Amino acid sequence: MEKINIMVNGLPGNVAKIMAQFAMNDNRFNIIPFSLTGQEIEEDSTPLDTTIFELVKPDIREEKIIQIKSQFTSFIAIDYTHPTAVNSNALFYTQHKIPFVMGTTGGDREQLEQVVKSSPTPAVIAPNMAKQIVGFQAMMEYAATTFPDLFNGYSLDVVESHQNGKADTSGTAKAMVGYFNKLGADFNVDDIQMIRDPDIQEKQWGIPKEHLTGHGWHTYTLKAKDGSALFEFKHNINGRDIYASGTFEAVLFLNEKLNKAKGTKKLYTMIDVLNRK
């Protein structure tokens, strides 16, 4: 099997590092030694194992991508950058016909999807790359469609905890709020409680100390008005291995699509990856 060339963007960020290390230890992939990064990053390169990755900042990337594409005629980009870069990065990928897997949350999601749909460049975009959580979301979507207003009159509380370097509210939590609202709960995504304080996470939540710098703990609580019933849904993830595994399944899925006859669909989600459609 020929190795798939990938470009992991977001170095020297922690999530991008994990993705790069995963790829370097997987013989299905060949990681190219370049990574898109933010203009604020002071370094011009970053080492990872025995490889030095050149960091490509916005002010030079138009010029640099020509050089990269001359060395690697085809590759799939994996984006774990910053929420503020989501839309500009997607535009950059589509303009240069670079298929991509977008795990970064935030940005204008409608604009993000429209950019892909109106381009010839396929992409897998999901606010969460963990297969099991995506499957859970699919079950919630089914429930919301099949049993609308099931929890009509119930109050909803949503609390999510992530490492203090996560700048935005969890995209998964936002998506879950949408399902609960269809199920009858009246809740605004602005009311999601974001926990980013390591002291609170460790002492009040019981999150293991070794995972304070990388975790995703979510709790969704529904209560009847009279207090007679309570339903609670939660998913607690320690570390980022689950996201890396799902991300690279998305890469394999996208590579399959690139090798097949071109279709009209360009925008895929993790549900497509799970269904292999």
pLDDT of residue 228: 97
Q: Give the structural domain span for 189.
A: 131-238
Residues of the chain with pLDDT under 70: 261-263, 277
Both 108 and 220 in one domain: the answer is no
Both 116 and 224 in one domain: the answer is no
**Residue 69 a catalytic site member:** no
Query: pLDDT tens digit string along 96-110?
Result: 999 999 999 889 999
Q: Sign of dihedral through CA atoms 111, 116, 117, 120? A: positive
Both 91 and 141 in one domain: the answer is no
Count of the separate structural domains present in the chain: 2
pLDDT of residue 23: 95
CATH number at residue 213: 3.30.360.10
pLDDT of residue 127: 83
pLDDT of residue 105: 86
CATH number at residue 113: 3.40.50.720
Alpha-carbon distance of 268 to 271, in angstroms, equals: 8
pLDDT of residue 198: 97
Q: Which one, of 232, 147, 229, lies nearest residue 182 by Cα? A: 147
Question: What's the predicted TM-score (pTM) here?
Answer: 0.82
Both 147 and 252 in one domain: the answer is no
pLDDT of residue 263: 67
Both 143 and 212 in one domain: the answer is yes
Both 89 and 200 in one domain: the answer is no
Both 202 and 190 in one domain: the answer is yes
Alpha-carbon distance of 182 to 147, in angstroms, equals: 9
**Residue 162 a catalytic site member:** yes
Give the three-class secondary structure for 48: strand
Catalytic residue among 166, 174, 215, 218: 166
Catalytic residue among 82, 162, 211, 266: 162
Label the pairing between strands 45-48 and 51-56.
antiparallel
Alpha-carbon distance of 255 to 195, in angstroms, equals: 37
